[in-house]
Structure 1
Amino acid sequence: MVALHLLDHPLPAEELGARLLNGEILVWREVEALAELRIELDRIIRQTLADDAPTTAEKRLPGEVFIERIRQLRSQVMKDLNLHRPMKAAMEYVGLDLDDSYWDALQLRVVPSAASHQARRIMPLPMHRDNWGSNIAQQLNWWTPIYPTDADNTLAFYPAYWSQAVENDSANWDYLAFKQRMREGKAASHPVLPTLTEPLPAAQLLPLVIQPGDLLAFSGQHLHGSIANAHGRSRFSLETRTVSRDHLTTGLAAPAPDGAAPYRVWEWFKHMCDGTPLGETERL
């Protein structure tokens, strides 16, 4: 059943997975480990941008300078174990079994307000299901904002379409072709991700406003995307995705009514404790 729940306590791992893969959207308020993470990440952001007000830095930095510094930040976050440790601690606290879980790269997501400061992967994301790309129905998504959000500058969901098929372009999203174009320096010629291709009622869109220190978890099956304001404020958030070995073994999974990409992308995911890969990409 699709529902939003605000929690102040951890869940058993089995219950956590079952609730998320049944469509629930879960938010834990003021997770202690995220306070440490936010302090360190805020320091890095300010230092790299050379600006003490990161959410409005796009007003003061030329577009090409802003984009280059954000790319530097994104690369650093993927490699910085001082950021990985508290994120893992937060996920473990709410109930995730790290020894049973594989995750992909820890991503700093930045959504600038102005089109002049946006670039590939530094932009509002259109409505999509993550599962259209990975083709892994057990995928769980994790998201936390670094600075305050509001209804004009956050993630938004279409929860009513959890198990209802929608029109999309996933059939044309070929991951191995994408990889090849990246190697050739031609990644811009391939879409970043599969997306929704039909209009949906705006009245059914749910902006989800949470604050720094809160942790959001939801299935990769949920239809979601960015809401980006036009008032000169950038959104900074941290995100990752996980897959449970136990869910794969038992077959616990979200519905998959409309994904049509040709590959299942196991290689994105590495074990959260020892770094071993989940597997190789395979054709469906």
Structure 2
Amino acid sequence: MTSVFACSTFDDDARRDLIFKGEIFTFPATAASTELIAFARELIEEAFAGRNPETAQFEMPVEEFAGLLSDLKPRFIHHRRCKEILPKIFEEMGMNLERTYYDVPRLRTSTSDHYLDSGISYAYHAHRDCWYSAPFSQVNWWIPVFEVVPENVMAFHPRYFDRPVANGSARYDYGEWNRVGRPTAARHIHSDTREQPKPEEPLDLLPEIRIVPEPGGILMFSGAQLHSTVPNTSGRTRFSIDFRTVNLDDVLAGRGAPNVDAACSGTTLGDFMRASDLERIPEAARAM
């Protein structure tokens, strides 16, 4: 059984231990998470140039919308402001910046009514991040930029946390994805032919858990948790930010969620930077 902890006062070590057991945590917006979404809104509003970003999909050809995102998303991902704000969030959450490593924050979109479900605005099927070479010590973070509703968030499928699912992860290599798959995202507008791990058996995804945070509110969960993009029927494009953290001590000690079905190659650990000074995670950790 998966529980959702709201406004928990557990310290970071205890919280991670529970996350590795399949628990989910949610927190209200903090000063730093509010700063992060305010910065994201600045870039979004600048990119949409007077259009309402949440409804612009109904005014723009899909090719134009995808082209706009292909410029906007990398600008956010690699902006120095993100690297300044994220450590503040970690401090607010009681994390040790010398032991915490994180990857770049990604600006995600989920458009309504299947307007753009592929490539730069991919609508994720049920999956674990661990099928995509994520470490089992990974904690996922998810923060909405604007108001969200149950019809445009993500869904968790907790019955599969410790239950294997037949999937295509054995054909996924993270190095190959970085060389070939990721750089072509903006080209996939009407369909997405890139090889990505998917379930290869029928799944009973109900009951599911949908959590609806306020703008700037925080969700934290294991990268091994099976989750998916809810088919967006809200009439509004959802904008959200996600990123991932690991604690170096967990990585070196082999602590994390159980591997019940991942068979991918490579690791994303080389993408992780130390929160205190942006140093890359040590080679010894990448080999774990």
Q: Is the structural similarity TM-score above 0.5?
A: yes
Describe the superposition over 1:124-179 as per-residue Cα deviations: whole angstroms up to 9, x where unpaired. Answer: 11110001112411011011000111111001000121111111110111223323
* Aligned equivalents of 2:34, 2:181: Cα separation in 1: 36
Matched, 1:237 2:240: yes
Tell me which residue corresponds to 1:93. Answer: 92
Are the equivalent residues in 1 in contact too, given 2:157–2:206 (CA < 8 A)? no
Determine helix, strand or coil for the equivalent of 1:249. Answer: helix
User: Residue type of the partner of 2:194?
Assistant: H
Q: 1:231, CA displacement in angstroms?
A: 4.7
Which of the residues 248, 252, 261 maps onto 1:249?
Answer: 252
Q: Report the more deviating stretch, 198-207 or 65-74.
A: 198-207
Are the equivalent residues in 2 in contact too, given 1:16–1:95 (CA < 8 A)? no
Describe the superposition over 1:87-142 as per-residue Cα deviations: whole angstroms up to 9, x where unpaired. Answer: 33123212222211111111001111244434413121111000111241101101
Are the equivalent residues in 2 in contact too, given 1:141–1:240 (CA < 8 A)? yes
* Aligned equivalents of 1:46, 1:185: Cα separation in 2: 25
* Aligned equivalents of 1:221, 1:248: Cα separation in 2: 15
* Aligned equivalents of 1:8, 1:30: Cα separation in 2: 13
Are the equivalent residues in 2 in contact too, given 1:49–1:70 (CA < 8 A)? no
Are the equivalent residues in 2 in contact too, given 1:262–1:283 (CA < 8 A)? no
* Aligned equivalents of 1:47, 1:104: Cα separation in 2: 25
Tell me which residue corresponds to 2:20. Answer: 21
Unaligned runs of 5+ in 2: none
Identity in percent? 27
CA root-mean-square deviation:
2.5
Describe the superposition over 1:194-246 as per-residue Cα deviations: whole angstroms up to 9, x where unpaired. Answer: 22222222422222221202111101010001013235411100010111101
Q: Which runs of structure 2 are paired with 1:48-127 in the superposition (5 Å)?
A: 48-127=47-126
Unaligned runs of 5+ in 1: none
Determine helix, strand or coil for the equivalent of 2:98. Answer: helix
Describe the superposition over 1:14-35 as per-residue Cα deviations: whole angstroms up to 9, x where unpaired. Answer: 1122121121100011222222
Tell me which residue corresponds to 1:198. Answer: 201
Tell me which residue corresponds to 1:219. Answer: 222
Determine helix, strand or coil for the equivalent of 1:34. Answer: helix
* Aligned equivalents of 1:283, 1:90: Cα separation in 2: 28
- Cα distance change on mapping 1:179 and 1:43 into 2, 3 Å: closer
Q: Report the more deviating stretch, 111-120 or 181-190.
A: 181-190
Tell me which residue corresponds to 1:262. Answer: 265
- Cα distance change on mapping 1:184 and 1:212 into 2, 3 Å: closer
Tell me which residue corresponds to 1:6. Answer: 6
